[in-house]
Structure 1
Amino acid sequence: MKKLLFFIVSILFFIGSNAQVDQSTLMEKIKEHDEIPREMAYLHLNKSTYLEGEQIAFTAYVLNKQILKPSEATNLYILIKDENNKVIKEKLVLVEDGTSSNTIRVDSLFTAGNYNISAFTNWMRNFKEQNYFVENIKIIEAESSDENTASATTENIDLQFLPESGHLLNGVINTVGVIAKKHDGKGIANAEIRITNDKNQQLAQCKLNRFGIGKFSFIPETGTAYKAEISYPGVQSIIYELNVPVERNGIILSAITTQEELRLLVKTNPESSRSLKNENYSLLLHNLTESKMYDIDFKDKFSIPFLFNLKDLPPGINTVTLFNSKNNIIAERIFFNYNNLPKTTFKRPNIKASSDSIKIQLKTKQALDSMKVSVSVLPKFSLSDQNNHSITSYLLLQPYIKGAVQQADWYFNEIDKRKVRELDNLLITQGWSTYDWNFVFNKDLKIAYQYEDLLKIEGVLNKPDKKNQEFLIHATSTRAPQRISLPGNTKSFIVNDFFHTTESELEISRVDGNRLLPANLFVRFSPSAFPDLYTNPPYVHLDLKKNAPNIKLEQPVIFFDENRETLDEVVIEKRIDKVKQRERKLNNKEIYGNVKVVDLDDIMLYRTLSTYLSTQPGLNVNEPPGSLIVTAGPGNSFGTPSGLEGRSEGGSRTDSSMRFYLDDVPMENEFFYQYPLELVDYVKINRRGLGGGFMEANGSIRVYSRPGSIYEDSRTIKPQKFQLPVAFSQQKKYYIPKFSNEYGAFFQSYGVIDWKPLLKSDSKGEISFKIKKPQVDYQLIIQGISDDGVLIQDVQHIKLNDADLN
């Protein structure tokens, strides 16, 4: 049975509630509410439609909601879910100075279909408003075809009528928003709506826009039945019976917005005038940065007008709320102020071409402080960029909207009177107030989810010792080693601000003289699991355009990625010296140092590390009691006067001696005193210290432990290993998929030219980057932020001949 839902968004949800505060404290409560910091997240995706095997590349932007300036540092969770809400991929990235970037491979866990990608911080989970990011992406098979078979039949229409201020009032002109959508969230364009009463008299009519949104005005009456007739191309008009609830008494808000002003009318009807004469009302105009209160006194009036100059109000969403004397909310209306919008675009790019590449220089139309942008370079007629949002529409509009917005970015490009009007209609039909008044008035508000910046680990000792103890958290490729010193009888320790990636195991050893022993710890981690967040599903599904070519490969697509392996050159020898072969392989990978592999003959001959090093050219070795000191020099003396130049009184390391490492962990010289050579697999000697920074100015010796050796003893490093349940994803390089044909129809529909995730402005305020010279016309899809709170978005279309050849 066909049924029309007359969807009334009532904001009388607080009448009769206990959430009442004294009128004098209302402004204070609102101020306290607004001062609670908020974060907003946005992901600039390199595109919206991906082939199997590609990388989903993104740049994350996290901003302070009140001032749109970059967050200093925060943990950002990234989830990809399928249409059944099952998590397919999850990542944790560290956002620093408002930005981060990464990639997610479209691997065997994905199948063709629609997915949701979301991004949020733990702090965002405290609030009902949509400060998180969620968007649809589509995965397609390389040799399939995709046709949009959805049709706007009467069986799958979602038709809603929404009164402007939340309810209808008898006997006065009411404005009603209309929205008509298909099951996939797309609006039914150009549908016509007729409203008639039970006498078949037409009371109102309107034509919906391209997104299926419109509005009409009429005078409803209690006790009257109404009908709505909807018609649109290709479908016979249908008439619905409407039981419209109309209130006999009450107050409504009626607003008209232009580019310059807001005209607001607070009005009632004669039936309500008697009860309103002795009642005081207040009109609150508020936003994220300020609030103003206006007294309302009807007396003998049925309407009270207000006129606001929008140039005097903050840009973006503003809200007007009508309170009675008990601070119950009577009506509410939100509107958007386009004036002084914190948004800018770029001037026409300066493009210089060489034989095989192009250099692109971009400068914003508005002078900005330091800015960071990401750029997706796609063919001009790409079908792979169907995201509904830009950074501007998502951060300034989406948090105040119920559900998703179809082509939300359209409202922020080439702004004119029509777009002001259309956005206002959108706010009538889908807008909602982020002010949860129970939240505002709650004196005992508790923050359930804490702000997160990096990780935290807590080590609990299985056997506390009366003596002082020392632990070593081993270094990884992204983190320096860390020593933990504990007084005797200490049972546990906590490490805050800890950074660790999923690519590495956490290794902890207990330091005992010059031995590293298993830590014998129990470790707790925070966070201990990936959090989940209920997100309003972005129900505007992505579909290929009807004029898109069949998705059939003209020539194979070859994906190059971080998993590719370059095979070593094969050298065939009559006799193979395995030690020399391994030594040669290790040296091929070493840029600055020289690698020496320790074999059985070395162990039997030299016994200790110090004796072995004394045989290496260019090293001066000295082993006074309790220490090992090595300096780089022309000789290779052992126990000679020239070897004393690296030693200070007491035998400790001096500024001229080489730095020691054990398995890439910086160690003190004392650790290697009389160190058994049987524990050494190989040694990397960097005499000049090149590539090691100031810490290795005098060179370095890196000792690598022998794993699984028959020569192991109690000094062999056997760190206790842990797998963190949640760790950061190391930033991955984006690899451009290679197409055999980079000018055909398939490439122009779904190909990728380049992706630049994190570009920063130079001293001239310009952004510059290079790309491989395309073979087709292309577009630059640019998103970004500035340090002074301006959002950057632009799309620049470039023709192949739009370049000056050097």
Structure 2
Amino acid sequence: MYLKTTTIGIIVIITFFSYNAKAQRADKILNAYINSNPSEEAYLQLDNNLYSSNDTIWFKAYVLANANPSSYSYNLYTDWFDDNGKLIEHQVYPIVQGRSDGQFAIPSVYSQQKIHLLAYTKWMLNSDTDFLFRKDIEILPHTAQTITPSKKETQKTILQFFPEGGNLVAGILNKIAFKATDQYGKPVDVIGVILDNHHDSIADIFTQHDGMGYFYLHPEKNTNYIAQYHTSSQDSATINLPSAQSSGIAMQVISQKDNKKIVIRKQDNNASTTTENNPPDTDYNQLHLLAEKDGIINYLSNINLSGIDNFETNIPIQKLSSGILTITILDQEWHPLAERICFIKAKDINFTQPNLSVITPNLQKKGLNTIQLQYDDSLPENLSIAITDGSIPIDTTSNIISYLLLTGQLKGKINNPAYYFEDTSKQKLQDLDLVMLTNGWRKYNWKAIVQGEKISNPYRRDSAYFFLQGSITDVKNKKKLPKEISFITNNKLSFSNNNFIVDKEGHFGDSSFLIYTTTKLTFHPTVGQRTYAFNFNKFSDPSFTKYPYSLSTSTSEILQKIQLGKLDHFKTTLQDVTVTSYKTTYANPIDSLEAPYQSPEFINAPALKNVYVMNQPILAAYGADFIGFLRAKLHMDIDVKPHSPYITPICFVNGQEMPIEAAFQTPIIDIVFLKYYKYFVGAPGGGGNGGALAIWTKQGFPSEYDFRTKNDNPTSFTMTGYTISKDFYSPNYSSSQNDNNAIIDQRKTLYWNPEINLDNKEHKNIQLSFYNSDIAKSYKIIIEGFRIDGTPIYIEKNVE
């Protein structure tokens, strides 16, 4: 029996009220969990698409949480890798109102073909790492290269089948989508038939768009089905379809103007085949129907299929914004039985784009150009703009709209995702639904959430910016504390004196005092003859990076093992080494490793013994036995207190002299390398009979330390903070006597501005001016950003 809509309405009402209390409780639990565990994503716009060595890559980052500008994470991490997967530089930038910007200087002697960018927040690593932002950036070679044509590789066709809802169920009608690609993920057109056990043709298959299509099948029990197909360049081939399970739920979603029509078909034979989506003894009569979008449960109802095999209902979508809606059918115990993603294409994308016009085009050498953005919206917008030489091929197959609404939400490769957002034609909507049918990702463990199980997130979110915070205690009399302490800070940005108020518990800090680059802080006691102990806390570790970028075929396997906790120490200390330049050539390869850490006096001093930790197994076996570790690695009798036959050296941690008791608190796992000097000019008396021990850690210094200062001697230490965001240089050729006019201008990026704010008050029209280069005969303008509600903005314009 196939129920009509009017009858279904009565059943839904009766069913809903019979489970009303449970549904409301589940609704609150689900929404509360999602609100406290938002799904974050990041998108980066670059100033260009093609670079040379010694160029600077400028970027603007947009970070969203549940499709709104993120206020959840405060820090953005960017990792830059070479073609071999080696980390070139690790950076961290503050996120303000869901956005950040920065740059990466390509080393002057970089000779590889690409640089690979990975961007993420720490919170994003709790989810599938396939959803971190990744981009491969083309690098022009130093000299013209002769490319020898390689032997053409034979095309291999990979054909995959996707029953709508997830499972192929015998005895009922199933809609089955398919996707055909070559070995590189590019779409392939196929045509063929579906054959049963008797080799009878029961369905035709043919590509409808980009290697994708669908067909209907009514599979029988104990029957195997194969697809026989061919491509334009390949002879006929066959492949097995997924096996049909004897019992289960098949779901079909039909798009309507204001609704998603849900058709549910049930097959219950009591001899259910146990699968991941269908545990044994599954009850297919009492079901939950749930729809989630952007971290909000938009629809939740209970369905009773007792005595019926087919069911229809509508999920209203007229008030939803553009994006992916996930529809899930679950049993009474909240096990998922079927799931389908579908796309909602609302009017928000097409009617919120600012108008871009070129007021003064000037393609003469060093000509002045003026463009205008006209804004007519009730919500503020934040944008970034890149204007590039029109002769440079810019990849426009992906943009902020297609990434945030589509590719950033799905696993696997999607060919030309921007195509689906060029217009709202019926054809585009049908093609986009094929993408939905052939992709999917289950974000949530609904059963665990509803039952209140504690779901472990190994990475805590960055809930604050990197600022100085800590506590101070009087070693001899803990009740006597200064009311104020003073620090001198010295880094690339400034040299200044900063005072911090100390509360009655000894805590101090200032959230407005952000730490940038490598900063040296020196504490000067403000009270006389006392000994103070300091404990400094950083909310986050700016050296943090977990997943190395790998180009090998085993990447997914490695990440899976890490995620399962089987390789907790997969990260080596080498990955935290930040290489800012390749200009210096070192005779000894070890010197190139040490140089980023050491000042000249350490590099030039002849060390008696060296220990490099990064290429050894994790030394957890030593635990907190730092002295045992030193004795084993240096083969010397070292101790904290001088007594025969032990040696007590002068200690340095990351170049700063430190009491030996404090230095020996260094966590062994944080050490990159250490050196022992018999005589060291930087130590008092050359180190005396005990010599000098220098320790360098991968983080500059561990997240917590006990620093002590006695009498009036200052205590110094260093912290590693945010990467400095620089300003893009735009030349000014307004004066004929300007020295810049004589320089040949060959810029690839003519203009870059990461911060354009359009509000609903003053900035209704904004004009921007820039000078052309000496070689550009045309230019391309690309503007990206989002509204305050998270709606993405994309504008593209060519000027010739």
Per the TM superposition, whether the score is higher than 0.5 is yes
Cα contact 2:131–2:411 (8 A) shared by 1: no
Q: Is residue 187–residue 211 contact of structure 2 (8 Å, CA) maintained in 1?
A: yes
Q: Measure the CA separation in 1 of the matches of 2:35 and 2:427.
A: 35
Q: 1:306 aligns with which of 288, 313, 319?
A: 313
SS in 2 for 1:394: helix
Residue 202 (structure 2) aligns with: 203
Secondary structure of the residue that 1:125 maps to in structure 2?
helix
* Deviations 1:44-75, CA, capped at 9 Å, x for gaps: 11233322221111001123325x24538711
Residue of structure 1 equivalent to 2:799: 798
Counterpart of 1:319, as a letter, is T
State the 1:298 CA deviation: 3.4
Aligned residue in 2 for 1:499 = 514
Deviations 1:490-541 (A, max 9, x none): 8875565641211x4322231458x99999867554434533355999999x
Give me the TM-score of the superposition, normalised by structure 1: 0.65
Q: Corresponding residue for 1:483?
A: 499
Give distance in 1, aligned partners of 2:72 and 2:292: 27
The answer as to whether partners of 2:470 and 2:535 remain within 8 angstroms in 1 is yes
Aligned length: 593
Structure 1 residues 25-58: Cα deviation after superposition (integer angstroms, max 9, x where no partner) = 4223222223225233211112333222211110
Aligned to 2:213: 214
Matched to 1:338, the amino acid is K
1:363 to 2:393 alignment: no
Classify 1:323/1:785 alpha carbon distance in 2 versus 1 (closer, same or farther; 3 Å). Answer: same
The one-character-per-residue Cα deviations of 1:330-386 (angstroms, maximum 9, x if unpaired) are 11111111123356323241422578311110124x514332211111233532x32
SS of alignment partner, residue 377 of structure 1: strand
Residue number in structure 2 paired with 1:731: 725
Distance 1:267 1:497 in 2: 59
What SS does the aligned partner of 1:160 have? strand
Q: What is the alpha-carbon distance in structure 2 between the residues aligned to residue 173 and residue 162 of structure 1?
A: 14
Taking only aligned residues, the RMSD between alpha carbons, in angstroms, comes to: 4.3
Amino acid at match of 2:757: K
Shift of 1:316: 1.7
Equivalence for 2:597: none
User: Normalising by the residue count of structure 2, what TM-score does the alignment of the two structures yield?
Assistant: 0.65
Q: How many Å separate the matches in 1 of 2:239 and 2:345?
A: 39
Decide whether aligned partners of structure 1 residues 346 and 128 sit closer, same or farther in structure 2, where only a CA change above 3 A counts: same
What are the residue-to-residue correspondences of 1:199-278 with 2, within 5 Å?
A: 199-208=198-207, 211-233=210-232, 235-242=233-240, 244-257=242-255, 260-269=258-267
Corresponding residue SS for 2:354: coil
What letter matches 1:255 in structure 2? V
In the alignment, structure 1 residue 77 sits paired with structure 2 residue 77 = yes
Partner in structure 2 of residue 451 of structure 1: 462
Unmatched segments (≥5 aa) in structure 1: 1-20, 541-561, 564-716, 800-806
- What is the distance in 1 between the residues matched to 2:238 and 2:529? 80
**Contact 1:122–1:452 (Cα < 8 Å) also in 2:** no
Does the 8 A contact of 2:51 with 2:139 survive in 1? Answer: yes
Aligned counterparts of 1:330 and 1:24: Cα–Cα separation in 2: 21
Deviation by residue 1:217-254 (Cα, 9 ceiling, x = unmatched):
22222333333234333x22241241631111211001
For residues 82 and 298 of structure 1, what CA distance do their matches in structure 2 show?
Answer: 56
Change (3 A) 1:527 1:792: same
Aligned pairs for 1:425-464 (under 5 A) are: 425-441=434-450, 442-445=452-455, 447-448=457-458, 449-457=460-468, 464=475
Could you tell me which amino acid in structure 2 is paired with residue 242 of structure 1?
N
SS class of match (2:438): helix
Does the residue aligned with 2:210 lie in a helix, a strand or coil?
A: coil
Contact in 1 for aligned 2:290/2:297 (Cα 8 Å): no
CA distance in 2, matches of 1:784, 1:285: 28
- Map of 2:387 onto structure 1: 377
Q: How far did residue 451 of structure 1 move?
A: 3.0
Cα deviation, 1:597-642, whole Å, max 9, x if unaligned, reads xxxxxxxxxxxxxxxxxxxxxxxxxxxxxxxxxxxxxxxxxxxxxx
Aligned to 1:423, which of 425, 429, 432? 432
Counterpart mapping for 1:722-801 below 5 A: 722-724=717-719, 726-735=720-729, 751-761=748-758, 763-773=762-772, 775-799=776-800
Which amino acid letter does the alignment assign opposite residue 225 of structure 2? Y
CA distance in 2, matches of 1:329, 1:241: 28
Q: 1:533 to 1:326 in 2, by over 3 A?
A: same
Evaluate the alpha carbon distance shift between residue 417 and residue 201 of structure 1 in structure 2; reply closer, same or farther with a 3 A threshold. Answer: same
The one-letter code matched in structure 2 to 1:731 is S
Asked if 2 retains the 8 angstrom alpha-carbon contact of 1:459 and 1:521, the reply is yes
Shift of 1:198: 3.6
Q: Is the 8 A contact 1:23 1:325 kept in 2?
A: no
Q: Which residue of 2 aligns with 1:194?
A: 193
Is the contact between residue 266 and residue 284 of structure 2 (CA under 8 Å) also seen in structure 1?
A: no
Give the secondary-structure state (helix, strand or coil) at the position aligned to 2:202.
strand
Aligned partners of 1:198 and 1:224 also within 8 Å = yes
- Determine what percentage of the aligned residue pairs are the same residue: 20
Seen in structure 2, the aligned counterparts of structure 1 residues 183 and 46 have a Cα distance that, compared at 3 Å, is: farther
How far apart in 1 are the matches of 2:76 and 2:436?
A: 29
Aligned to 2:488: 474
User: Does structure 1 conserve the Cα–Cα contact (< 8 Å) formed by 2:488 and 2:498?
Assistant: yes
Alpha-carbon distance between aligned partners in 1 of 2:308 and 2:550, rounded to the nearest angstrom? 45
Corresponding residue SS for 2:265: strand
Quote the Cα distance in structure 2 between the aligned partners of 1:97 and 1:277. 46
Determine the C-alpha separation between the residues in 2 that align with 1:147 and 1:47: 28
- The Cα of 1:465 is off from its aligned counterpart by 6.1
Mind listing any 5+ residue stretches in structure 2 that lack a counterpart? 1-20, 273-280, 554-579, 582-711, 732-739
Check conservation: 1:459, 1:523, Cα contact below 8 A. yes
Alignment of 1:239-638 (within 5 A): 239-242=237-240, 244-257=242-255, 260-269=258-267, 279-287=285-293, 288-342=295-349, 344-353=352-361, 356-364=367-375, 366-383=376-393, 385-386=394-395, 389-441=398-450, 442-445=452-455, 447-448=457-458, 449-457=460-468, 464=475, 466=477, 468-469=481-482, 470-475=484-489, 477=493, 481-484=497-500, 486=502, 498-502=513-517, 504-512=518-526, 523=536, 525-528=538-541, 530-534=543-547
Max Rg structure: 1
Query: Aligned with 1:395: secondary structure?
Result: helix
Residue 588 (structure 1) aligns with: none
What's the secondary structure of 2:54's corresponding residue? coil
Is 1:58 aligned to residue 69 of structure 2?
Answer: no
Deviations 1:125-159 (A, max 9, x none): 3444876422222323143457996967344x443
Give 2:103's aligned amino acid: T
Match of 2:754, SS? strand
Distance of 1:306 and 1:373 partners within structure 2: 41
- Greater shift, 528-537 or 164-173, is seen at 528-537
Q: 1:768 to 1:186 in 2, by over 3 A?
A: farther
Q: Call closer, same or farther: CA 1:237–1:537 in 2, change over 3 Å.
A: farther
The amino acid that maps onto 1:64 is A
Counterpart-to-counterpart distance in 2, 1:500 and 1:277: 57
What is the distance in 2 between the residues matched to 1:222 and 1:526?
Answer: 59
Contact conserved, 1:284 with 1:320, CA < 8 A, in 2?
yes
Distance, in Å, in 2 between the alignment partners of 1:458 and 1:298 is 59
Structure 2 Cα separation of the partners of residues 341 and 511 of structure 1: 59
Q: CA deviation at 1:783?
A: 0.3
Q: Is the 8 A contact 1:403 1:537 kept in 2?
A: no
Q: Secondary structure at the match of 1:187?
A: coil
Q: Give the structure 1 partner of residue 44 of structure 2.
A: 43
